[in-house]
Amino acid sequence: MVFFVTGNVHKFHEARNVLSRFGIATAMVNLETIEIQADAIKTVAQVSALDAAKKSGLPIFVEDAGLFINALNGFPGPYSNYVYRTIGIGGILKLLGKTKQRDAYFHSVVAFCDPRGKIKLLCFEGRVNGKITFEERGNQGFGFDPIFELPTRKGATFAEMSTQEKNQLSHRAQALKKFARWYTQNV
């Protein structure tokens, strides 16, 4: 069993869905960890994973992700959660206005740490390219899913897909699948 340190039940359900396909049992742990502000998602995930492993003594992983919008020089990037909570989807759409250049990508980092014996810290990354829509579409998913469309899926947003469809393509699913392949061979 591996423990996912998160307070986000949506992320947990997505992770459990992906990892179960690899025969990995996952439990959610809601643990206060250090969440530093940094310009790199990988750094945020690493610090959180090390802190959570030290506090819990369990084999854990954390996942951090961000939405990077080219027209906004990568904003909100590692600050996506804060931006979502403060200005939300409407604020991002307002910042972009009528800008036609709406290329963006989601980037995810899964950081795994096992404090039993020597502490290990490994990271697995995923990225998916897309575009920001001009309006919200769909009612599935969470966060910025209603404005992130995938050209490879006939322009559907993540919020217009079922969890199963999203887990075939998403940045988080990519990182989790890399983690799962490593975990099943090494733990």
For 138-176, what is each residue's pLDDT tens digit?
Answer: 999 899 999 999 988 788 999 999 988 998 899 999 999
Domains held by the chain: number: 1
Beta carbons within 8 Å of 168's beta carbon, 6+ residues apart: none
Predicted pLDDT at 117: 64
Predicted pLDDT at 120: 84
Q: Spell out, as residue ranges, where the chain has pLDDT lower than 50.
A: none
Q: Which of 51, 64, 114, 145 is catalytic?
A: 64
Q: Is 39 a catalytic residue?
A: no
Q: What is the CATH number of the domain that holds 171?
A: 3.90.950.10
Sign of the C-alpha dihedral, residues 40, 44, 49, 50?
positive
Among 168, 141, 55, 65, smallest CA distance to 110 is for 65
Q: Which residues constitute the domain of residue 164? A: 2-186
SS3 28: strand
Beta carbons within 8 Å of 154's beta carbon, 6+ residues apart: none
How many beta carbons lie within 10 A of that of residue 63, not counting itself?
28
